[in-house]
């Protein structure tokens, strides 16, 4: 019995009942007062707007109690909470009773409430972004207290094991992130090297050569690739592609580890094919038909039209698509965690194991760690670098795409 009447449940029940009652009360009030009013003039707003207005007032007052309560909970006995909610809602009903007359501009007020509510929703998203960025920045600053920025950005040695106790030896840790950036760059390059040409040619095929029915069937099928969970790609890379590459290389007498940049990069490339093909397909389709007609009417073939007119016209959008795919590849985690390895090798050979920013963040933060050690804080610094870089790429991509759109509208 006790937990049925817990303050939370009670509050919820009060809230819903109160708001619904307020709606009905406000609407009824509007109807009856309009009928009673002496002049023939119609009420300013429809009765349901009076109802919505009442519901909003009651809900706002109730929330006005809940928020401070949650913030300063414990100061008052628990049973006071439902009582205060009830009190607030009663106050709401008194206000409603005062305000609602046939001339009351309920509709305008409701529109304002709705606008405000929508603004708050988008505000949540924006504020969250700010919050994440700020936490990244502050934790990174703590990291840079211990490790100089320049050492972090230009150091060639990455071994983040630090001494847990004073008496441990040889574990000073070194935080030169260049090998990690290089690994990230190499895997991204492999991925784009695979996804770029294939994605682009898929887009060309879908937009210019495929007939309607083929296009309707193929496009969703390609896009399924983007919907496969990355962990599935991860074990595909680790258990299928990696060994396949190793066996293939052994045929030439070479020894390649199962975990390699090329295994992770090629699987990631497959994953981002739809990013490139779908976006490029959209921008190629956005090139006006009149340009195609103009070129064909001059006696150009389909492929001449494609390479000489459509492609240059769509190029900015295609570059935008590539940049978005790159930022997706850089931020991708699961595939590289499983298939790229963890050793921070500084190498230019894609057949060796490398590591990426995302992999290192995972390994820095998993396991028992003191939160304020340089090792854990390094994750924030890496995250910040990752964030700044992908943000930069996204902004450029969006600017390019937008500029391109404006040209044909």
Rounded Cα–Cα distance for residues 310 and 285 (Å): 9
Query: Is the backbone of residue 74 left (phi > 0), alpha (psi -120 to 50) or beta?
Result: left
Q: What's the rounded Cα separation, in Å, for the pair 330 and 392?
A: 12
- 126 or 297: CB nearest other proteins: 297
- 255 touching other proteins, by CB under 8 A: no
User: Binding other proteins by CB under 8 A: which of 309, 338, 339, 357?
Assistant: 309
Q: What is the CA radius of gyration of the chain?
A: 31
> Out of 10, 133, 153, 291, which residue is the one contacting other proteins (CB under 8 A)?
291
Is residue 151 near other proteins by the rule CB under 8 A? no
Nearest approach in angstroms of CB 284 to other proteins is 14
From candidates 288, 349, 388, 392, binder to other proteins by CB under 8 A: 288
8, 43, 67, 92, 225 from 63: Cα distances, Å? 13, 30, 6, 12, 44
Interface mask toward other proteins for 30-69; x: CB under 8 A: ----------------------------------------
- Sequence-distant (≥ 6) Cβ neighbours of residue 303 within 8 angstroms: none
170: left (phi over 0), alpha (psi -120 to 50) or beta: left
Q: Report how far apart, in Å, the C-alpha atoms of 22 and of each of 58, 63, 178, 184, 260 are.
A: 7, 15, 63, 58, 64
Q: For other proteins, give the closer residue by CB, 298 or 388.
A: 298
Q: Does 409 bind other proteins (CB under 8 A)?
A: no
Angle between helices 374-408 and 357-365 (to 10 degrees): 140
Task: Give how many residues touch other proteins by CB under 8 A.
Answer: 21
Helix ranges, 343-373 (H): 357-365
Give whichever of 116 and 288 is closer to other proteins, judged by the CB atom.
288
Could you count the other beta carbons within 10 Å of the beta carbon of residue 109?
18
Among 153, 198, 226, 300, binds other proteins (CB under 8 A): 300
Residue with tokens 């006696």: 299
Residue 293 in contact with other proteins, rule: CB under 8 A: yes
List the structure tokens of 246.
């190793």
Token pair of 370, please? Answer: 């003191």
Per CB under 8 A, does 131 bind other proteins?
A: no
Instruction: For residue 286, state whether it binds other proteins (rule: CB under 8 A).
Output: no
Count of CB atoms situated within 10 Å of the CB of 83:
14
E strand or H helix at 114 = helix 106-146
Shortest distance in whole angstroms from residue 205 CB to other proteins: 16
| Tokens linked to 353 | 């194991």
Interface pick for other proteins out of 312, 388, 402, 403 (rule CB under 8 A):
312
CB of 407 to other proteins, least distance (A): 7
CB 390 within 8 A of CB 327: yes
We find the least distance from the C-beta atom of residue 287 to other proteins, in angstroms, to be: 9
Which of residues 297, 366, 371, 409 is near other proteins by CB under 8 A? Answer: 297
Q: Is the Cβ of residue 129 or residue 301 nearer to other proteins in the bound state?
A: 301
Instruction: Please select the residue that binds other proteins; options are 3, 98, 165, 212, rule is CB under 8 A.
Output: 212
Distances in Å between the Cα of 198 and the Cα atoms of 234, 304, 317, 394 are 21, 20, 17, 22
Of 2 and 289, CB closest to other proteins: 289
Nearer to other proteins, 99 or 291 (CB): 291
When the beta carbons of 211 and 255 are compared against other proteins, the nearer one is 211
Could you tell me the two tokens for 93?
């009903």
Distance in angstroms (rounded) separating the CA atoms of residues 354 and 352:
6
In the bound state with other proteins, the residue whose beta carbon lies nearer, of 12 and 294, is: 294
362 lies in the site for other proteins, by CB under 8 A: no
Residues 386-405 that bind other proteins (CB under 8 A): none
- Stretch of 6-14, 190-198, 249-257, 307-315 lying at the interface with other proteins (CB under 8 A): 307-315
Task: Round to whole Å and give the CA distance between 185 and 123.
Answer: 34
Select the residue interacting with other proteins from 313, 321, 357, 385 (CB under 8 A): 313
Tell which one of 3, 98, 165, 407 touches other proteins (CB under 8 A). 407
Residue ranges binding other proteins (CB under 8 A): 211-212, 288, 290-301, 304, 308-309, 312-313, 407
């Amino acid at each position: 019995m006790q937990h049925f009447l817990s303050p939370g449940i009670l509050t919820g029940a009060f809230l819903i009942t109160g708001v619904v009652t307020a709606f009905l009360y406000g609407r009824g009030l509007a109807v009856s007062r309009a009928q009673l009013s002496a002049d023939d003039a119609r009420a300013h707003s429809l009765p349901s707007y009076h109802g919505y207005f009442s519901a909003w007032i009651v809900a706002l007052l109730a929330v006005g109690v809940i928020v401070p309560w949650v913030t300063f909970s414990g100061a008052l006995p628990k049973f006071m909470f439902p009582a205060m909610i009830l009190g607030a809602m009663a106050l709401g009903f008194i206000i409603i009773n005062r305000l609602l007359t046939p001339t009351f501009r309920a509709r305008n007020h409701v529109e304002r409430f709705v606008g405000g509510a929508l603004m708050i929703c988008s505000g949540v998203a924006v504020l969250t972004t700010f919050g994440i960025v700020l936490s990244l920045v502050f934790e990174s600053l703590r990291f840079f207290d211990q490790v100089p920025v320049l050492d972090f950005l230009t150091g060639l040695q990455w071994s983040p094991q630090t001494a847990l106790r004073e008496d441990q030896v040889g574990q000073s840790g070194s935080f030169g992130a260049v090998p990690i950036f290089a690994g990230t760059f190499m895997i991204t390059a492999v991925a784009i090297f695979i996804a770029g040409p294939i994605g682009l040619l898929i887009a060309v095929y879908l937009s210019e050569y495929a007939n309607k029915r083929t296009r309707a069937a193929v496009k969703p099928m390609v896009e399924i690739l983007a919907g496969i969970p990355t962990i599935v790609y991860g074990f595909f890379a680790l258990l299928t592609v990696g060994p396949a590459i190793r066996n293939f290389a052994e045929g030439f007498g070479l020894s390649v580890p199962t975990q390699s940049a090329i295994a992770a990069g090629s699987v990631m490339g497959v994953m981002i094919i739809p990013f490139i093909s779908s976006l490029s397909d959209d921008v190629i389709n956005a090139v006006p038909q009149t340009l195609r007609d103009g070129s064909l009417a001059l006696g150009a073939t389909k492929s001449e039209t494609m390479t000489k007119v459509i492609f240059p016209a769509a190029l900015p959008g295609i570059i935008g698509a590539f940049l978005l795919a790159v930022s997706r590849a850089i931020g991708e985690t699961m595939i590289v965690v499983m298939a790229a390895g963890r050793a921070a090798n500084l190498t230019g050979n894609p057949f060796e194991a490398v590591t990426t920013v995302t992999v290192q963040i995972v390994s820095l933060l998993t396991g028992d760690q003191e939160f304020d050690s340089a090792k854990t804080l390094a994750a924030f610094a890496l995250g910040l670098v990752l964030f700044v870089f992908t943000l930069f790429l996204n902004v450029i991509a969006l600017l390019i795409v937008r500029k391109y759109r404006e040209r044909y509208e």
